Structure 1
Amino acid sequence: MFKVLITGGAGFIGSFLAHKLVANGNKVIVVDDLSMGRLENLADINDKIVFYKHTVCDEQFMHDLLLKGDFDYIYYLAAVSSVADSVVRPWYTHLVNQESVVNTLEFIRANHLPIKKFLFTSSAAVYGNAADFPKTEDSHVDPLTPYAIDKYASERYTVDFGRLYGIPTVAVRFFNVYGPRQNPNSEYSGVLSIVTKCLKEDKPFTLYGDGAQTRDFVYVEDVVDALIKISTETDEPAVYNIANGDETPLIDVIHTYEDIARKKLNIIQKEARQGDISKSRADVSKLKKIGFEPQWSLHDGLSNYWKYYSEN
């Protein structure tokens, strides 16, 4: 049994990770200020975890927790996870998405905390519209927003703290993650959670651009399995893409979902938003080299998502 800290553990991906780690027999501690996460995401395991409603920006709280926690693994998912929000609130985003990360790494370094792995969750947003395609971990980066800038800086801090100070670290870049428990009620939600809500409630969906923008969608259960494998089965500080390795135009995804739901989506078209990326696809050969293969096709993932949302 390992002691595991998940920051942002009441969020969409964090809560799935918490469930999986608990099921695997680990002791899980979650820190989340619930600004984006939800307690109901952890309801099934509430009696099996330790939960702190707190911001990761509180240095004293985090230092005390790290010092007393004796953690084996730290999964750093706490973030302002919205590109649009970072454009509106760049300084606040920076405090959460970079300052808190570096502060945690520095405390681990200065106090020689004997962790097995610190895993930081970055984003495909760091690639921006750089011409390299598909995106490998060594591709050019072109961060277009405060969100992407902070994510890239924090992943570099994570990897280089590993290389400079011998701390076992790793960083991952999420592409478009979707699945149950994704919060559709925020205007900053993942696009598929908003599509799901609009389909279910027969509400109009706002499509920014012409729908030709492509994304590499990956189901949340595949993401969690990849996180655990990367944190436990890699040795060198590095960055890994987490994705399916596919490229699908958003409008095609919508049509597939309409077929699954047997409903037509009412689409309102608007101009593309500033900072939105036109094409996105991951090269996942590095992830496959450590033995990971995604198990969920887009159709199967959407079918499971629709079933969950229809029943809840």
Structure 2
Amino acid sequence: MRVLITGGAGFIGANLCAYLTGFPGVRAVVALDDLSTGDAANLAGTSAEFVEGSILDRPLVAELVAAADTVVHLAARPSVPMSLADPVASHEVNASGTLNVLEACRRNGMHVILASSSSVYGDIAMSPKHEDLATRPLSPYGASKLAAEAYALAYGTAFEVPVLPLRFFNVYGPLQSAEHAYAAVVPAFVDAALRGEPVTVFGDGEQTRDFTYVGTVVRVLADAAWRRVVSDTPVNLAYGSRVTVNELAVMLGEVLGTPLVTRHIAARIGDVRHSQAACERLTRLFPNVDPVPLADGLKHTVAWFDRTLNSVGNV
């Protein structure tokens, strides 16, 4: 099996490349990334072939898809705040870029696994959020991911493209960047704590999130690619945890052996209050994947950040 991973030098993509290059039956892994948020250094130690380029480059996408057996489409312009700053750019990459990938897959009869987002739900009060709920995104990012997901499902119906749209929730773990203003909460907290700085909490910290360790996510993606899992409905990729940001800070303090110092600032526009997945559809499709518990995932994540900071400090 030859796997093409768009966004392959990014956080999730590079973890998947590392996992798949040791996966029985995988002959080759190709990572396509424009390095706007990814880093080619993330692929060090893997045998993945790196191709620098964009999913907006239709001839390049067509060429790479034609040589693959399965496509894992992770490339995106991430983050709610980035989409508020430039909605058009988010649409172009997340919606139009996805359409380019789907068109190439349609021409080649290619299986495609697509990363959607829990942000498509918006701030619907019901919890946990199941896949049949109405979608009401609060940000251009959420709207662009919903458009991508809708295109995938439409291609599945109209052109019989074998598709699997997965709604990612709050994925965390090694290789996740804390170096930009829109960093996700786990890497932002871990990086600040290891540097001896206060961690920033938006709002009162009582917002809840469904955290999923990246190792769990890549096991699902690898299994989906190997078995060519398809679905004519979206599938949540999270396991139903419900943890407040304040509780996360306490847990990280326990891992680090010292309480985190927090500072609260105003809540961000576009952030949802509560996010928790219903996981029945996921566990039915992937019964052999057991999620890594949050406490264990945080230990792995802290250890990776600690090694990274020490390595940089010793250069």
Question: SS at 2:164's partner residue?
Answer: strand
| 2:251 pairs with 1:252 | no
Q: Is the 8 A contact 1:155 1:171 kept in 2?
A: yes
Which residue of structure 1 aligns with residue 305 of structure 2? 309
Question: SS at 1:19's partner residue?
Answer: helix
Which aligned pairs between 1:154-193 and structure 2 lie closer than 5 A?
154-193=148-187
The CA distance in 2 between the partners of 1:39 and 1:203, in whole Å, is 29
- Aligned amino acid, residue 79 of structure 2: S
Length-normalised TM-score, structure 2: 0.93
The CA distance in 1 between the partners of 2:239 and 2:249, in whole Å, is 18
Aligned partner (choices 86, 95, 108) of residue 89 of structure 1: 86
| 2:104 pairs with 1:107 | yes
* C-alpha deviation, 1:24, in angstroms: 0.6
Q: Is the 8 A contact 2:72 2:114 kept in 1?
A: yes
Q: Is the 8 A contact 2:127 2:276 kept in 1?
A: yes
The CA distance in 2 between the partners of 1:4 and 1:233, in whole Å, is 11
- Aligned amino acid, residue 277 of structure 1: V
Q: Is the 8 A contact 1:11 1:36 kept in 2?
A: yes
- Aligned amino acid, residue 287 of structure 1: L
- My pick for the range that moved more, 248-257 or 224-233, is 224-233
Q: Is the 8 A contact 1:9 1:78 kept in 2?
A: yes
The CA distance in 2 between the partners of 1:205 and 1:176, in whole Å, is 18
Deviations, residues 73-109 of structure 1 (Å, cap 9, x unaligned): 1011000111100110111111110001112212332
Q: Is the 8 A contact 1:208 1:269 kept in 2?
A: yes
* C-alpha deviation, 1:233, in angstroms: 5.1
Which residue of structure 2 aligns with residue 13 of structure 1? 12
- Aligned amino acid, residue 189 of structure 1: A
The CA distance in 2 between the partners of 1:59 and 1:73, in whole Å, is 18
Aligned partner (choices 137, 144, 147) of residue 153 of structure 1: 147
How many aligned positions are there?
304
Q: Is the 8 A contact 1:169 1:238 kept in 2?
A: no
**Residues 216, 251 of structure 1: alpha-carbon distance in 2 compared, 3 angstrom cutoff:** same
Deviations, residues 287-309 of structure 1 (Å, cap 9, x unaligned): 11121443311111111111222
Aligned partner (choices 169, 191, 194) of residue 188 of structure 2: 194
| 2:51 pairs with 1:55 | no
Which residue of structure 2 aligns with residue 262 of structure 1? 257
Question: SS at 1:23's partner residue?
Answer: coil
Q: Is the 8 A contact 2:173 2:301 kept in 1?
A: yes
The CA distance in 2 between the partners of 1:53 and 1:265, in whole Å, is 39
**Residues 23, 85 of structure 1: alpha-carbon distance in 2 compared, 3 angstrom cutoff:** same
- Aligned amino acid, residue 272 of structure 2: I
Q: Is the 8 A contact 2:105 2:112 kept in 1?
A: no
The CA distance in 1 between the partners of 2:298 and 2:104, in whole Å, is 41
Identity in percent = 33
Q: Is the 8 A contact 1:226 1:292 kept in 2?
A: no
* C-alpha deviation, 1:310, in angstroms: 1.6
The CA distance in 2 between the partners of 1:95 and 1:88, in whole Å, is 14
Q: Is the 8 A contact 1:10 1:41 kept in 2?
A: yes
- Aligned amino acid, residue 239 of structure 2: N
- Aligned amino acid, residue 152 of structure 2: T
Which residue of structure 1 aligns with residue 312 of structure 2? none
Deviations, residues 22-55 of structure 1 (Å, cap 9, x unaligned): 111420011101111111210011xx22111111
Length-normalised TM-score, structure 1: 0.94
Q: Is the 8 A contact 1:160 1:237 kept in 2?
A: no
- Aligned amino acid, residue 92 of structure 2: L
**Residues 241, 269 of structure 1: alpha-carbon distance in 2 compared, 3 angstrom cutoff:** same
CA RMSD of aligned residues (A): 1.4
